[in-house]
Amino acid sequence: MKSKLSFPFSCLLFLFLFVLPVFSHFEYPHLQPYELLNNGTHPSPFGFLKNMQGCRKGEKVQGIAGLKRYLHHFGYLNYQNNVTNPKEDHFDEELEAALKSYQVFYHLNATGTLDGPTVSNMVKPRCGFPDKEAHQHNDKSLHTVSHYRFFPGRPKWPKGKRHLTYAFGSRFPTRFVPPVTQAFTKWARATRYFTFSRARTYRSADLKISFARRDHGDGSPFDGPGGVLAHAFAPTDGRFHYDADDRWAVGAVQNAYDVESLALHEIGHLLGLGHSQYQKAIMWPTFNSGSTKGLNSDDIRGLRALYGF
């Protein structure tokens, strides 16, 4: 005799195996990139540079146009002022000068060739903000002791604006709020100049923090897993974005990036600091997965020099 439970049981089985997973995906779409995390198998957007290792001035190698775009994006090559053709895979003098400038910034041998140490540094995940003002191939602006830098024109918050409010986007994971809050606390304690508090609304906040992916409307699109991890804008813009396609965690977690360490770095940008040439500074441009990093005296000296406190 046929069981009366067979049809209901089949329906339940279908529900649990096929229907519920689909609804769960649509109910919590914001969890996919940074709570569930990606599996880390995606190639880095900077990985193409490995195929060009060893190329030098005078050569024509497929991918050099991508190298030009990389150096242009991070402030070493300015197409508007130079004769170099950004679409040509030709290693010209301007590209050599830009590459030497990059090597000097990162304390590499200024060979002007795309050697192994240079490639290894260029493929590291990093902040998306440029390291320097485009095509500034001299180091006259460097400090003799400290290595901190400022944005062109030295933008900063007005003198009477020492308390800044911050808010998180509607889909910002709640478990990532405490480490970002802790980053603000660390900057406040270290500087004894700025104070921070959470705003009542996102719209009213001085500083707006969110996750975004690819082209998200601010003129600086993200590039997927690896490559650019986050970016923030100079005063008094206030926007700070994490790349939702990267793998994020609280603390040192293998193959993931620490939310607080990147927050410390991007808050530095929000306050007016550019990228530092001192590797131990939080404002050093690149980051390693599975590790954490804190504020350094170079970061604090930079802020003091900018605001005069």
Binding positions for Ca(2+) are 206, 223-224, 243
Side-chain-side CA neighbours of residue 15 (13 Å): 6
Distance between CA atoms of residues 204 and 265, nearest Å: 23
- Which residues have a catalytic role annotated? 266
Q: Which residues are annotated as a binding site?
A: 127, 206, 216, 218, 223-224, 231, 241, 243, 265, 269, 275, 283
Q: Are 95 and 85 in contact (CB under 8 A)?
A: no
Q: Are 53 and 115 in contact (CB under 8 A)?
A: yes
Q: What are the DSSP E strand ranges found in the chain?
A: 126-127, 163-168, 195-198, 207-212, 228-232, 239-243, 248-249, 257-258
User: In Å, how far from its chain's centre is CA 100?
Assistant: 23
Distance between CA atoms of residues 223 and 46, nearest Å: 9
Helix pair angle (259-271, 297-307), 10° resolution: 20
